[in-house]
Structure 1
Amino acid sequence: MKLGAAVIATDLPELLPHMEYNLQLNDEGGSLLGRWAVDSLNWDSTEARVKLRGRLGNNGADAIFATNCVYGRDTVDMFLSTMFALSGPCTLALMCGVPVPPAALAPEEVSILDEFLAACPRFFDCYLLKVPGGIEDAGVARVQDSPLAAELGKPYGLSAAALADGVWLFKLPGSDCPSWARPVLCIGYGTTLQANLRQWQGMCWHSHIQLLRLQRKLISGLHPQ
């Protein structure tokens, strides 16, 4: 807001008063700088998505910032559907904070992280960005707790936790990745990923990951120097 942006902060209705209070603390310049508003947004409501998109205009949001938004596998599709509904060709949708496995992971269950990674390319071109501390300071996750994340990150020296803690950029299919971005991993729209349940045999584990009907090849450049 201090740079002149028009900001709409969203959450569930019962949390809006607290959010409004926090935004007021950052509104030192009043109307001379940016402007802000709070609004309720139910990710599972088509009506709510259409209403907010109407406020944003035909081109959608210039930028979307989402942090620690996905806390269960049942929220993944509705969260991504909401970001998709609010995006336009030039929108920068940035998010971070997927629970690091084994958080909220029951026995014989697919992790939230693997569910998230499998769903993302159904909506967007996806880029894991190189940002200071974003990957280097990632937590620790066992390979067997998130086999899809481990398989995707392995060729590039990335742990499953790095894919959970890192900053992701989502762009509508066919939109250009901005020149300033430094992706260390890219997953193209239409890449079909499926993470099967872990199967244990004694102390050994076997992850079964199928890359089904690749409509676009999984792409990734070299690590930036």
Structure 2
Amino acid sequence: MQNAIGGVVTRAAKDLATWAAEANPHATWHGRRAVELGAGCCLVSSALMKLGASVIATDLPELLPHMEYNLQLNQEGPPARGSWRAEPLNWDSAEERDRLAAMLGADGADAIFAANCVYGRDTVNMFLTTMLALSGKQTLALMCGVPIPPAALAAEEISILDEFLAACPRFFDSYLLKVPGGVENAGVARPQDSPLAAELGKPHGLPAAALADGIWLFKLPGEQCPHWARPALTIPYGTNLPTVTSRSW
């Protein structure tokens, strides 16, 4: 499954790369150390490299040749202003997390990017733990793309989206920055299929699918959100969300 995902350019990767290039102050990424988690085809890493970042693209070891090939292709043509390297990173390996964290130093990455990385409930804590391990006080951790819950879920099954939203405040201050294409173009999810997402979004006029499709920013607890961010939704660290045990609460 991971190999199949790693070989596809997803909508979330395109949305995140576009946002990195267009929706932030000029030269935000120039000279910055950026890490992409679950880089796959390395679309986001390639865009960041063109924007002047020093990029570390990470994914499972078997995907590295594919990643290196794509990064080399994107380095051709006009000189890239940034640089790249590809590193193996398995999120459930504390040794690999620690190795990359040591490579980054005490301040962590300047920015972390992830597109379509949360593709199963069992990946949520591993993903957030990895992002936390690579973060420092100034790190901007950004992600896009959580699967929209299908109506076919069994009544007792928790959606990946609700699992993810419930876990976020155990790790970070979380900010929904943007819904690419607008709320009206978000996917479709019934409130009963992702009740936590529906409850969080309702006061802000956001359907559950907007929380799945949106671009999220994560900051270490208590660290300042950048002045240029205009969050549509904020979930502070330590927020006591309803316990996610089934879809019938």
Q: Give the TM-score of the pair, scaled to structure 1.
A: 0.84
Cα offset, 1:102, TM superposition:
1.5
What letter matches 2:104 in structure 1? L
SS at match of 2:156: coil
Alignment pair present for 1:178 and 2:226: yes
Which residue of structure 2 lines up, in the alignment, with residue 47 of structure 1?
Answer: 95
Match of 2:191 in 1: 143
Q: Which has the higher helix share?
A: 2
In structure 1, C-alpha distance between the alignment counterparts of 2:152 and 2:120, rounded to whole Å: 8
Deviates more, 1:148-157 or 1:106-115: 106-115
**CA separation of 1:122 and 1:103: change in aligned 2, threshold 3 A:** farther
2:82 corresponds, among 30, 34, 37, to: 34
SS of structure 2 residue aligned to 1:117: helix
What does residue 213 of structure 1 align with? none
> 1:150 is aligned with what amino acid?
A
What is the CA RMSD across the aligned residues, in angstroms?
A: 1.8
Whole-angstrom CA distance in 1 between matches of 2:191 and 2:231: 22
Offset at residue 29 of structure 1 (A): 6.6
Distance of 1:55 and 1:135 partners within structure 2: 39
- Is 1:198 aligned with 2:247? yes
Map of 1:166 onto structure 2: 214
> Does 105-114 or 75-84 show the bigger shift?
105-114
Q: Give unpaired runs (5+ residues) of structure 2.
A: 1-48
Superposition deviation, residue 130 in structure 1 = 2.7
Q: CA deviation at 1:20?
A: 0.8
TM-score, structure 2 as length reference: 0.76
Look up the SS of the partner of 1:38 in the other structure. strand
Pick the structure with more strand per residue: 1
Quote the Cα distance in structure 2 between the aligned partners of 1:13 and 1:169.
Answer: 27
- Deviations along 1:89-141, one digit per CA (max 9) or x if unpaired, are 11000001000012783441011000000000000000001355253421000
SS of corresponding position for 1:149 = helix
For structure 1, the 5+ residue unaligned runs are 200-207, 209-225
2:235 matched to 1:187?
yes
**Distance (Å, rounded) in 2 between the aligned partners of 1:96 and 1:42:** 19
Mapping for residues 19-168 of structure 1, pairs under 5 Å: 19-28=67-76, 33-102=81-150, 105-130=153-178, 132-133=180-181, 135-168=183-216
Q: Which residue of 1 aligns with 2:21?
A: none
Q: Per the alignment, in what secondary structure is the counterpart of residue 75 of structure 2? A: coil
Question: Which amino acid in the other structure matches residue 245 of structure 2?
Answer: N
| Distance change in 2, residues 1:59/1:135 (3 Å) | farther
1:96/1:3 CA distance change after superposition, 3 Å: closer
Distance in 2 (CA, whole Å) between partners of 1:90 and 1:140 is 35
State which structure, 1 or 2, has the greater radius of gyration over its C-alpha atoms: 1
Q: Percent identity?
A: 75
Per-residue deviation, 1:3: 3.1
Is 1:68–1:98's contact at 8 Å kept on the other side of the alignment?
A: yes
Deviation string 1:9-48 (CA, Å, 9 cap, x unpaired) is 0000111111111111111379873221001101001111
Amino acid aligned to 1:198: R
Aligned-partner Cα distance in 2 for 1:42–1:104: 30
Other-structure match for 1:12: 60
Query: Helix, strand or coil for the counterpart of 1:154?
Result: helix
Q: Deviations over 1:132-166 (max 9, x none)?
A: 52534210000110000000111111000000000
